[in-house]
């Protein structure tokens, strides 16, 4: 413990034992910022997932229209498969680079979940089980590009949609 300055001691003033309220208030504000950043990260990742899902819906509609009108559905189906894969990975390569930067800085949004094997390292919303489901669907959808079938595509999309809604609830 530091000794009080002699001038204070001589004047009969003793130092306070507790942390000054101003310092506690500043620490509270810092805690609010840190916890708010985690919530902001969750909301941002949810927005990334939702945007990919909506774009996948557009690709699905485009593929179904192409199949119905005997046009080339392959590009739309391949895009759909890529978007489902992006959902599985909580974004594309650019987002993964940011996630890696956060990991290198020691930030693990779901540290406990990572330790328990529920989440891949750095993932915020998509669990390992959900990721596997999305990637399996993306693979099956991708294979449909060679031989498009609207009913099979719709059935696989129902699997994706169900998993998506369970994941982002």
Residue 31 lies in a domain: no
Report the b/e string of 25-55 with b at 16+ CB within 10 A: eeeeeeeeeeeeeeeebeeebeebbeebbeb
pLDDT in tens, 20-40: 999 999 999 999 998 888 999
Confidence class for position 123, pLDDT limits 50, 70, 90: very high
- The count of structural domains within the chain is 1
pLDDT in tens, 58-96: 999 999 999 999 999 999 999 999 999 999 999 999 999
19 in helix, strand or coil? coil
Average pLDDT, the chain: 93
pLDDT in tens, 88-120: 999 999 999 999 999 999 989 999 999 999 999
Identify which has the larger pLDDT, 9 or 139.
Answer: 139
pLDDT of residue 1: 47
What does the pLDDT average to over 137-164?
A: 98
pLDDT of residue 2: 53
Domain that holds residue 45: 38-95+124-168
Assign residue 88 the CATH number of its domain: 1.20.120
Residue 5 lies in a domain: no
Residue 140 lies in a domain: yes
Residue 99 burial (C-beta neighbours within 10 Å; 0-12, 13-18, 19+): buried
Judge whether residue 18 has pLDDT over 80.
Answer: yes
Residue 163 lies in a domain: yes
With both helix axes pointing from N to C terminus, report the angle between 74-88 and 150-168 in degrees, rounded to the nearest 10.
Answer: 20
């Amino acid at each position: 413990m530091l000794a009080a300055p002699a001038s204070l001691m001589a004047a009969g003033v003793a130092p306070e034992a507790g942390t000054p309220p101003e310092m506690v208030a500043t620490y509270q504000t810092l805690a609010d910022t840190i916890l708010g950043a985690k919530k902001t990260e969750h909301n941002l990742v949810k927005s990334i997932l939702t945007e990919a899902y909506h774009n996948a819906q557009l690709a699905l509609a485009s593929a179904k229209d192409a199949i119905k009108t005997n046009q080339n559905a392959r590009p739309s189906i391949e895009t759909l498969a890529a978007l489902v894969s992006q959902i599985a990975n909580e974004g594309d390569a650019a987002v993964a680079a940011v996630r890696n930067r956060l990991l290198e800085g020691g930030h693990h949004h779901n540290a406990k979940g990572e330790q328990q094997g529920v989440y891949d390292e750095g993932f915020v919303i998509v669990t390992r089980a959900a990721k596997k489901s999305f990637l399996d669907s993306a693979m099956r959808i991708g294979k449909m590009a060679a031989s498009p079938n609207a009913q099979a595509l719709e059935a696989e999309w129902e699997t994706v949609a169900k998993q998506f809604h369970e994941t982002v609830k």
